[in-house]
């Protein structure tokens, strides 16, 4: 039976423009029309249309978090289908309609089980869609391990890469690699043939190394500036290459710590806005309201929006959510709301080129939508036209 929903009288960000006094019509999980309020009454909507008045709130494409390790006490390294599905349910609270569960390097058996758990969870989501796994390694640099355990980082091994892809059922969306590693050319060709987006990260690559990687198809980068060779006037390194070449996309963690607000402003001046992708890189205890907070099997506490290890006060990682990232970009980093929303929805949809039916509010696209008010409170999250309960 046909199902029609009308989100009435919102300020709609289509992915192209911000248009006030506008309504969105959804039919059978797809966006059927985007129309000005004064023309809405001329439409002959079905008598059983569900009318939802949003009273001027923002209606935007659902957020897509392409780099997230955990949330609400669940984590990809639990190697559990249930944990992945709980992440899916939790993410709708923050306006996320799709995500890439992200794995960091760990022992081979756990890594394989974690990949399999993502594969087996796909198609059973009750909240945000799973677009495929994001492998943050293991073919990355021990010199730039960041918060990851360097003992699990390894040289490029094509046999293992094939094992990972087979375990994922061909559902690896993104993989972080260090372009300076031997064998990067063969890996890049394999990934290109299998629809895997390669991202430079956790890398000590020189500028020349990075340029060789670009030739093979590395056109994305993981958490810009963090865990990568710094910009130097005699060797621009990974950071310099990302800034110089407009077609290299980059992730940003907009929590005000991983990148200083001034760096985000600088990036906005040198990069096309459609190449900047907002991610959370959030860890297991993000949004957790009870129990011991654990990240990477160590107890942590939250301080100034970051998780800090209790044992030694070392920063363990991010506690960011996508709606908070959007707010930070606008209020603390002088990014126009339209651009912040592009970074949270349209741009990640474009990076994962296999997923072309979402990321925009336009007729024919999947009805993956977030509604939020001027104070960035999530009012409604919709996935494939279904309103998800928080």
**Whether pLDDT at 66 is above 90:** yes
3-state secondary structure of 258: coil
Does 203 fall in a domain? Answer: yes
pLDDT exceeding 70 applies to what percent of the chain?
A: 98
Contact between residue 139 and residue 178 where contact means Cβ atoms under 8 Å apart: yes
Query: Where residue 210 falls among pLDDT bands split at 50, 70, 90?
Result: very high
**Whether pLDDT at 105 is above 60:** yes
CA distances to 72, 165, 301, 312 from 309, rounded to whole Å, are: 18, 33, 7, 6
The DSSP 8-state label assigned to residue 54 in this structure reads -
91 lies in the same domain as 103: yes
182 lies in the same domain as 230: yes
**Which is more confidently placed, 85 or 298?**
85
Does 357 fall in a domain? Answer: no
281 carries an active-site annotation: yes
165 lies in the same domain as 215: yes
Q: What pLDDT, in 10s, does the model give residues 7-47?
A: 999 999 999 999 999 999 999 999 999 999 989 888 888 88
Tokens 């920063």 belong to 315
pLDDT at 289: 81
* Domain range enclosing 377: 4-60+363-388
Q: What pLDDT, in 10s, does the model give residues 53-65?
A: 999 999 999 999 9
Q: What pLDDT, in 10s, does the model give residues 151-184?
A: 999 999 999 999 999 999 999 999 999 999 999 9
Mean pLDDT of the chain: 94
47 lies in the same domain as 80: no
Rounded to an integer, the average pLDDT of 342-360 is 87
pLDDT at 354: 62
Q: Could you give the number of structural domains in the chain?
A: 2
Contact between residue 228 and residue 236 where contact means Cβ atoms under 8 Å apart: no
The DSSP 8-state label assigned to residue 315 in this structure reads E
User: Which contiguous run of DSSP H or E holds residue 90?
Assistant: helix 81-91
Query: Where residue 82 falls among pLDDT bands split at 50, 70, 90?
Result: very high
175 lies in the same domain as 51: no
Distance from C-alpha of 210 to C-alpha of 239, rounded to nearest angstrom:
9
321 lies in the same domain as 184: yes
**Whether pLDDT at 306 is above 60:** yes
Does 88 fall in a domain? Answer: yes
Does 148 fall in a domain? Answer: yes
Distance from C-alpha of 329 to C-alpha of 56, rounded to nearest angstrom:
21
The encoded tokens of residue 27 equal 């039919």
The encoded tokens of residue 267 equal 């990036």
267 lies in the same domain as 305: yes
Does 163 fall in a domain? Answer: yes
The DSSP 8-state label assigned to residue 273 in this structure reads G
Which one is catalytic: 75, 209, 255, 281?
Answer: 281
109 lies in the same domain as 244: yes
42 lies in the same domain as 128: no
Comparing 43-47, 123-127, 325-329, 374-378, the range with the smallest average pLDDT is 43-47
**Whether pLDDT at 314 is above 80:** no
pLDDT at 186: 96
pLDDT at 41: 81
Does 80 fall in a domain? Answer: yes
CATH number for the domain including 192? 3.20.20.140
Does 356 fall in a domain? Answer: no
17 lies in the same domain as 95: no
CATH number for the domain including 26? 2.30.40.10
346 lies in the same domain as 382: no
Does 358 fall in a domain? Answer: no
pLDDT at 158: 98
pLDDT at 274: 94
């Amino acid at each position: 039976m046909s199902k029609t929903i009308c989100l009435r009288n919102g300020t709609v960000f289509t992915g192209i423009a911000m248009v006030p006094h506008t309504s969105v019509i959804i039919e059978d999980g797809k966006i059927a029309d985007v129309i000005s309020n004064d023309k809405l009454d001329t439409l002959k909507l079905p008598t059983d249309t569900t009318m939802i008045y949003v009273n001027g709130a923002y209606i935007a494409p659902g957020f897509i978090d392409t780099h997230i390790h955990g949330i609400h006490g669940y984590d990809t390294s639990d190697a559990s289908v249930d944990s992945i599905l709980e992440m899916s349910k939790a993410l709708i609270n923050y306006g996320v309609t799709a995500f890439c569960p992200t794995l960091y390097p760990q022992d081979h058996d756990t890594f394989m089980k974690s990949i399999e758990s993502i594969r087996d969870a796909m198609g059973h989501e009750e909240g945000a869609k799973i677009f495929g796994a994001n492998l943050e390694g293991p073919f990355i640099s021990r010199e730039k391990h960041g918060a990851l355990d360097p003992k699990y980082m390894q040289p490029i091994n094509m046999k293992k890469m094939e094992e990972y892809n087979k375990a994922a059922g061909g559902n690896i969306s993104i993989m972080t690699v260090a372009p300076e590693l031997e064998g990067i050319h063969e890996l890049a060709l394999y990934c290109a043939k299998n629809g895997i987006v390669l991202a430079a990260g956790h890398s000590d690559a020189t500028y020349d190394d990075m340029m060789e990687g670009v030739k093979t198809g590395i056109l994305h980068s993981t958490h810009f500036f963090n865990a990568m060779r710094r910009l130097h006037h005699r060797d621009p390194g990974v950071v310099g290459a990302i800034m110089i070449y407009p077609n290299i996309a980059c992730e940003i963690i907009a929590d005000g710590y991983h990148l200083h607000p001034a760096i985000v402003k600088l990036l906005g001046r040198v990069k096309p806005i459609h190449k900047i992708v907002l991610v959370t890189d959030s860890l297991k205890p993000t949004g957790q309201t009870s129990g011991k907070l654990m990240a990477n099997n160590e107890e942590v506490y939250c301080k100034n929006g970051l998780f800090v290890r209790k044992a030694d006060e070392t920063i363990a990682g991010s506690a960011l959510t996508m709606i908070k990232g959007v707010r930070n970009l606008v209020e603390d980093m002088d990014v126009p709301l339209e651009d912040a929303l592009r970074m949270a929805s349209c741009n990640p949809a474009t990076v994962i080129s296999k997923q072309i039916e979402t990321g925009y509010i336009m007729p024919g696209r999947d009805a993956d939508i977030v509604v939020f008010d001027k104070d960035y409170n999530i009012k409604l999250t919709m996935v494939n036209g279904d309103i998800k309960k928080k």
